[in-house]
Structure 1
Amino acid sequence: MPRIAWRPGARSSPLLVTNETRDGLPLLQSARVATRATWNRTAYAAARRLIADFAPDVVHLHKLYPHLSCAPVTAARDAGVPIVQTAHDYEFISANPFDHTGATVDHTHTRLRYRTLNTALYEVRKLRHAPQVDAWVTVSNAMANTYAAHGIPARAIPNFTLVPTGPAPRFEARSGALYAGRLTVDKGVDDIIALARSVPELEVRVAGFGPLAHRVSRAASRIPNLVYLGFLSLEGVQDELRRSRVCLMPSRWEEPGPLVALEAMAAGTPVVAYDHGGLAEYVRQAHAGRVIGTEPMALAANTAFLSTDAEEWTKMSANAMAAIHDTHSPDAYLPEILSVYAGVTGRPAPAQRPRVLRAVRAA
């Protein structure tokens, strides 16, 4: 049975920045974060200790930047351990992680310092990180096709979430529509505000934080059926999904495979999504909602329909939960990822669940 180490997390290296704190960092601390993003000596030493102590057959890497840099990759290569990298966005083919086009310079981010750092880190990822990876995994077929088009062949293994242990609330026990996630332009937040205006009889709830939080808050004070819930815990989001009839995901970027869509499906909540990336793939393959063109009026019409048609809603709710059992469960994920490990180690995949060293995810 293989021993598998996942990348060291924030406990192994002091956490200097998170998505919530990065905009308020003083200049000197921002410079320190940028320097560590290109090479983090502390993370390298911690990774070497972890590898020596655990003696893994495989090091499986996820999101390393900006906190950990490419240090864990180099540590694994120096120790002679095969490396599996799961890509959760487009950071290995574009300077901006949300850009699927392969642009080597970030022209997208609104802040110059982030555009500069993204552009510099892309060179690190391209020249020092990617060449050391033995096997690539993406979280959707759409993403795998994009990576292959840019010279990185990858195996698509869909994301998973926990399988629900009980029945989901029925149509009659629910009301309204929910958006949960980052409050940004590329997530389609403006379209959700427009939806609330155009369907006044539907309560539209928004949970999350981000650059557009103030815009959502102001809109909620003026639109009676728009409710801003602020930031919620995972449990809070799950509770909201179970009481909502529709999950809104009007992402305007090629979203690779969002967990919120799977959490909605696990709650038996149909998803209305724009036709982009792995998000559309998840919903379409499961028949768990509506995949539509990038058009606010279509978003409003399809959301209004699903929130009032009990027969169609019930079919999609059942489809969603079935897909979690069949395609997006830990039991579906495990044999796929073990097959990848077998490929890089040259050993057959074990019949039993391996011992896995888990770590805190870096911000």
Structure 2
Amino acid sequence: MHAAILTNFATPKGGAEKVAIESARGLAERGVAVTLIHGVDGPADPLLDHSRIRRIGLGLTDVWERPAWRGAIDGIWNREAARRLEAALAGLPAGPDVVHLHQWTRSLSPAVFAVLARSGLPVAVTLHDYFLACPNGVYYRFDAAEPCALRPLSGSCLAAPCDPQSRAHKAVRVARSLVQRKAIARGFARRPLDLVHVSDGSRARLEPMLGATVFRHHRIDNPVRVERAAPADPARGDAVAFVGRFTREKGADLVAEAAHRAGLPSLFVGDGPLAAELRAVPGAEVVGWRAPAEVEALLRARARAVAAPARWLETGPLTVYEALAAGIPAVASDRAGAGEKIRQGETGFLVAPEAGSLADAFRRLKDDAVVRTLGRAAHARYWAAPMTLAAHADALCDLYAGMTGGPRAPSFQRSAVM
């Protein structure tokens, strides 16, 4: 088996790249030959240093770093990305059996769908967000600070001032969505795209939006690259932790406000537009981005719980899974896909993404006995059915086998594929 994995970057700029890189490593360790093709050149994650992984950079530019007019054009349809991807696939000594696309909006553009359709190869796409259906990618009304309820690309959608930046940006995103929809409908009428959903909630929302005409839908958990160790003792921690990009749709401001109300410090690992606002909240500490090993050590030392109270319909935040794997309770939004892994009152809490409800949950974390019991249950339940890199690779191999007609993995090795 030879799998080509396609994404924007060879280093984690977000959850999509993180999963693409980790899945490449997991597949390589399972004996699969992997070619990772990334749009933007630059340093590569050390996980890609493996004898079965070939890495090809297309030498493209992140559209966020281009002049606005050029970024808009390339974001809608990047002809150079299409040309270079086609050349890269044609130049491989042995062609791939399957192509797996993880993200395309930052450098590759919808033009890659036309290239992949012409290749005749089976194509899988992991849906880390809502870009395949929704113009702004998160199915969220930034103007109203609430999840969207409109049908993507309907008249109401086109008229809604929902973009996080401006109406001009919305117009560009709509144009991208329209040409993307057309490219997929034309290119995959005879060979469907295989779509991988990372949570039951996101599948339930996206499947009706996308339909089944040119898609086949599957469900596979994202991998969690955490080595099994003794559970943390969260009762020794002093703070509620938030890990990731500091934005309102992710609820970073809610964590700071709710922790302050509950009389607990808050710890923020990452960065984002709300960094200065968070630093101004009494009891909040912002430490910036850290390497994965540093994040785990910091959470084990400081976190009474990890909070992810997203306002948007988040598909599956990895930070929640990583916390549970370490034996740290999680407090998540009842809108997020990660909530499917939390047992209410047993391994953490699911709450509405608003400060009052979150503060009530945080107050319960002030009890050492409660926190310690939650943490132990979180560790035990996670490791009873861990979302390991090996389990993820097995699930991908089963998916690829179904797409290509090859042999499937033994049933005892499979992860959640439905």
TM-score when normalising by structure 1: 0.84
Change over 3 Å in CA distance of 1:347–1:119 after alignment to 2: same
2:228 to 159, 162, 165: 165
Q: Which residue in the other structure is 2:334 paired with?
A: 275
Q: Give the stretch that moved more between structures: 202-211 or 227-236.
A: 227-236
- 1:43 aligned residue: 81
Q: Residues 317, 33 of structure 1: CA spacing in aligned structure 2 closer, same or farther, 3 A cutoff?
A: farther
* 2:334 aligned with 1:238: no
Q: Which has the higher strand share?
A: 2
Corresponding residue to 2:172 among 93, 111, 117: 117
Unaligned 5+ runs, structure 1 = 352-363
Corresponding residue number in structure 1 for 2:269: 207
- Deviation at 1:345? 1.1
1:13 match: secondary structure: strand
Q: What is the percentage of aligned positions where both structures have the same residue?
A: 26
Deviation at residue 321 of structure 1 after TM alignment: 5.4
Is the CA contact (8 Å cut-off) linking 2:76 and 2:172 kept in structure 1? no
- Give the Cα–Cα distance (whole angstroms) in 1 for the partners of residues 271 and 163 of structure 2: 17
* Aligned match of 1:336: 395
Alpha-carbon shift at residue 97 of structure 1 (Å): 0.8
Which amino acid in structure 2 is aligned with residue 110 of structure 1?
Answer: P
The one-letter amino acid paired with 1:82 is P
- 1:286 CA displacement: 11
Q: 1:226 to 1:37 in 2, by over 3 A?
A: same
Deviation at 1:287, TM superposition (A): 5.0
SS state of the match for residue 128, structure 1? helix
Does residue 346 of structure 1 match 2:405? yes
In the TM superposition, residue 74 of structure 1 has moved relative to its aligned partner by: 2.3
* One-letter identity of the residue aligned with 2:290: L
- Equivalence map 1:281-292=2 (5 Å): 281-284=340-343, 287-292=346-351
Determine if contact 2:225/2:389 at 8 Å carries over to the other structure: yes
Q: Distance in 2 between matches of 1:293 and 1:170?
A: 26
Number of matched pairs: 339
- Aligned-partner Cα distance in 2 for 1:143–1:322: 23
Compared CA separation, residues 255 and 186, structure 1 to 2 (3 A): same
Asked if residue 176 in structure 1 is aligned to residue 239 in structure 2, the reply is yes
Moved more, 302-311 or 31-40: 302-311
1:68 counterpart = 2:108: yes
- Work out which structure has the larger RCO, using CA pairs closer than 8 Å and 6 or more positions apart in sequence: 1
Describe the shift of the 1:90–1:257 C-alpha distance in structure 2 as closer, same or farther (beyond 3 A). Answer: same
CA separation of 1:274/1:137 partners in 2, compared to 1, >3 Å: closer, same or farther? same
Residue of structure 2 aligned with 1:108, choices 158, 162, 167: 162
Deviations 1:140-179 (A, max 9, x none): 0111111122133521111111242321332344221101
Range with greater deviation from structure 2 (42-51 or 335-344): 42-51
Work out whether 1:129 is the aligned partner of 2:192.
no
Correspondence for 2:308 among 246, 249, 253: 249
Q: Which moved more, 1:312-321 or 1:50-59?
A: 312-321
Query: Which AA in structure 2 matches 1:89?
Result: D
What residue is the counterpart of 1:361 in the other structure?
none
Q: How far off its partner does 1:75 sit?
A: 2.2
- For the 8 Å contact 1:70–1:128, the answer to whether it is kept is yes
* Inter-partner Cα distance in structure 1 for 2:58 and 2:71: 12
State whether residues 161 and 324 of structure 1, in contact with CA within 8 Å, keep that contact through their aligned partners in structure 2.
no
Contact 1:188/1:251 (8 A) holds in 2: yes
Q: Which residue of 2 aligns with 1:144?
A: 203
1:139–1:256 CA contact under 8 A, matched in 2 = yes
Q: What is the CA deviation profile of residues 207-231 of structure 1, one whole-angstrom value per residue up to 9, with x for unaligned ones?
A: 2222222211233xxx1x2212233
CA distance in 1 between counterparts of 2:300 and 2:314 reads: 23
Matched to 1:277, the amino acid is A
Structure 2 distance, partners of 1:305, 1:286, is: 10
- CA–CA distance in 1 between the matches of 2:394 and 2:364? 38
Task: Give the letter for the 1:269 counterpart.
Answer: I
Structure 2 residues without counterparts, runs of 5 or longer: 7-36, 42-56, 140-147, 411-418
* Contact 2:304 2:365 (8 Å CA) reproduced: yes
Superposed counterparts of 1:218-233, under 5 Å:
218-219=280-281, 223=282, 225-233=283-291
Q: Is the alpha carbon distance of 1:350 and 1:231 closer, same or farther for their aligned partners in structure 2, counting shifts above 3 Å?
A: closer
Name the SS of the counterpart of 2:280 in structure 1: helix
Opposite residue 244 of structure 2, the aligned amino acid is G
Q: Which amino acid aligns with 1:308?
A: D
Match status 1:303 vs 2:362: yes
Aligned-pair RMSD on alpha carbons? 2.6
Q: Distance in 2 between matches of 1:159 and 1:324?
A: 15
What do residues 241-283 of structure 1 show as CA deviations (whole Å, max 9, x unaligned)?
2221100111111110111112212222111112003122122
